[in-house]
Chains A and B, each alone.
Chain A
Amino acid sequence: MRNAILKCIEKNSRVDIKELAVMLGTDEVTIANEMAAMEKEKVICGYHTLIDWDKAGVEIVNALIEVRVTPQRNQGFDHIAERIYNYPEVDAVYLISGAYDLLVTLEGKSLREVSQFVSDKLSPLDSVLSTATHFILKKYKDHGTIMVPKKSSERMLVTP
């Protein structure tokens, strides 16, 4: 049941509990209990909204920053990751296999704000060896949602 609930709310967290119960063939209480339990266990970590800021007319700059760091004794990458993820403008921090160590995604008001963050905050950190910043030019698809408008259906109205 848990996975079925998660599958449904992953794409639409605003679905009505009553409706969810009907669609999954169970009752509201079960759904509500499961969801409360999953929230408590942090299986469900939040209910966010996917926004196209471009359409909202708000200027926002997103960047991906590849960061190479020296891991620290006893703490591996966790300590340096924490130093980075605590900044509110940092959207995500991932430990990555391959040519660099941390992938940091960042949201800023302008190119300048983002580059300032990199040069003033990120690069000076002791264990940071190097950074490479990539600015996002266009989001075609985000969180599994295609951002470009979809063409309307071409199905006929009735077929046997």
Chain B
Amino acid sequence: MRNPLSEKVVEVKPSGIRKFFDLVNEMTDAISLGVGEPDFDTPWRIREEGIFSLERGRTFYTSNAGLKELKVEIAKYIEKKMHVPYDYNHEIMVTVGGSEAIDMAFRAMLDPGDEVLIPQPSYVSYVPCAYMADGVPVPVELKVENEFKLTVKALEKVYTPKAKILVMPFPNNPTGSIMTREDLEPIAKFVQEHDLFVLSDEIYSELSYKGEHVSIASFPGMKERTIMINGFSKGFAMTGWRLGYACAPRVILEQMLKLHQFAIMCAPTNSQYAAVEGLRNCQDEVEEMRQSYNQRRRFLMHEFERMNLKCFEPYGAFYVFPSIREFGLTSEEFATQLLEEEKVAVVPGTAFGDCGEGFLRISYAYSLEDLKEAIGRLERFIQKLRVREQ
């Protein structure tokens, strides 16, 4: 029999920490700080609207780009939050999670050899998606000294004229780092000077704890160059509904929509109806969740300080990214031993790029009680390591 597989796909490396994930999922009695999704149930209003839409028999396809009502609400929401006006009819499409939008954007924009600048540590899908779209992923190393913010200096180090897209993954998974207006300004300038486009993944935009989230698309001349990606998974606690969206200039969006039409048809209809309710009536619930995350974030930072565990203070998403360099273990060794000895699951920083070595991602999408228990165990583990070192 001939080889049934595409060489290109086989080339894609499975996530380096697959082994670690498998190990964790076998340990059913472990407590976890390793989850990248909210601990809150979807607000009841949204769930109820989803149920109602099924009862009403709204079980058909929607138009490819999504329900008109939803696109109108998204346009209003983005204008209110990001101060960027989008035409709901030509510049917004609803996707199956933010992940689909990332994939579609790369495929619509990249030709073989085009380089994609990907700040790391960052979410695991940018590199393989860029590669599958014939692009060349180019990691841009973010550094703890800069609180894992993207700087022009870091960009200059890897920039070549082949670069076409810059990924902007802020607020960032896994570091929790955010980019303020002042941080973004020089980046926007760099992008325009070098005629780049930006894929701005703002899925955590609702979870920003230091002033209002700022989108790079809101800078003069940037809307034309930006594909803004967002969705309902994080802020609205709707991960399993698989609903995201892209806002982009019409020329780009039309091509993305064409791919979406052939590959996906449309995002789930009942998720779309539910999300309309979310945008119309759930800002209070979203704000309440945000405050709750913020309290846990402060709690964790305080605990790390008490334990003398180095961690820069992150102001976004629901992750902290402490350094474990002092223990002389790799991230994966540390995480594996912590799992085996104390039954606490965290994610090694290397899951998000090589430069995550020496760090752990700890999620605070957990109740305060769970956090306390897990942190107690982490502390015991760290004390053991410190004694062993002496």
Q: Which residues of A contact B (CB under 8 A)?
A: 4, 7-8, 19, 22-25, 153, 155-160
Closest to B209 in A: A25
Q: A157-B35, A158-B32, A160-B123 are in contact. Are A23 and B298 (CB under 8 A)?
A: yes
Q: Does B21 contact A (CB under 8 A)?
A: yes
Q: Which residues of B contact A153 (CB under 8 A)?
A: 39
Closest to B372 in A: A19
Q: Which residues of B contact A (CB under 8 A)?
A: 15, 20-21, 24-25, 27, 30, 32, 34-37, 39, 123-124, 173, 291, 295-296, 298-299, 302, 345, 347, 351-352
Q: Tell whether, in the assembled complex, residue A160 and residue B124 are in contact, meaning their CB atoms are under 8 Å apart.
A: yes
Closest to A158 in B: B34
Q: Which residues of A contact B296 (CB under 8 A)?
A: 23
Q: Tell whether, in the assembled complex, residue A23 and residue B35 are in contact, meaning their CB atoms are under 8 Å apart.
A: no
Q: Tell whether, in the assembled complex, residue B35 and residue A158 are in contact, meaning their CB atoms are under 8 Å apart.
A: yes
Q: Tell whether, in the assembled complex, residue A157 and residue B24 are in contact, meaning their CB atoms are under 8 Å apart.
A: yes
Q: Tell whether, in the assembled complex, residue B302 and residue A22 are in contact, meaning their CB atoms are under 8 Å apart.
A: yes
A150 CB to nearest chain B CB (Å): 9
**Bound-complex Cα distance A49 to B351 (A):** 45
B17 CB to nearest chain A CB (Å): 9
A64 CB to nearest chain B CB (Å): 25
Closest to B303 in A: A22
Q: Tell whether, in the assembled complex, residue B298 and residue A159 are in contact, meaning their CB atoms are under 8 Å apart.
A: no
Q: Tell whether, in the assembled complex, residue A22 and residue B36 are in contact, meaning their CB atoms are under 8 Å apart.
A: no
Among B298, B345, B347, max chain A CB count under 10 A is at B298
Closest to A25 in B: B298
**Bound-complex Cα distance A23 to B123 (A):** 28
Partner of A23, one of B20, B124, B299, B351: B299
Q: Which residues of A contact B347 (CB under 8 A)?
A: 158, 160
Q: Tell whether, in the assembled complex, residue B30 and residue A157 are in contact, meaning their CB atoms are under 8 Å apart.
A: yes
**Bound-complex Cα distance A159 to B239 (A):** 12
Among A8, A23, A158, max chain B CB count under 10 A is at A158
Q: Tell whether, in the assembled complex, residue B35 and residue A156 are in contact, meaning their CB atoms are under 8 Å apart.
A: yes
**Bound-complex Cα distance A123 to B30 (A):** 60
Partner of A159, one of B36, B295, B302: B36
**Bound-complex Cα distance A48 to B36 (A):** 36
Q: Tell whether, in the assembled complex, residue B34 and residue A24 are in contact, meaning their CB atoms are under 8 Å apart.
A: no
Q: A22-B298, A23-B299, A25-B298 are in contact. Are A158 and B39 (CB under 8 A)?
A: no
20 contacts between A and B (CB under 8 A): A7-B291, A8-B295, A19-B299, A23-B298, A23-B299, A24-B295, A153-B39, A155-B35, A155-B37, A156-B25, A157-B25, A157-B27, A157-B30, A158-B21, A158-B25, A158-B32, A158-B34, A158-B347, A160-B15, A160-B351
B234 CB to nearest chain A CB (Å): 12
Q: Which residues of A contact B15 (CB under 8 A)?
A: 160
Q: Tell whether, in the assembled complex, residue B299 and residue A22 are in contact, meaning their CB atoms are under 8 Å apart.
A: yes
Q: Which residues of B contact A23 (CB under 8 A)?
A: 295-296, 298-299
A13 CB to nearest chain B CB (Å): 15
Closest to B300 in A: A22
Q: Which residues of A contact B36 (CB under 8 A)?
A: 159-160
Q: Which residues of A contact B124 (CB under 8 A)?
A: 160
**Bound-complex Cα distance A19 to B306 (A):** 13
Closest to B361 in A: A160
| Nearest 5 interchain pairs by C-beta | A158-B34, A23-B295, A157-B32, A22-B302, A160-B124
Q: Tell whether, in the assembled complex, residue B299 and residue A158 are in contact, meaning their CB atoms are under 8 Å apart.
A: no
Q: Which residues of A contact B345 (CB under 8 A)?
A: 157-158
B155 CB to nearest chain A CB (Å): 25
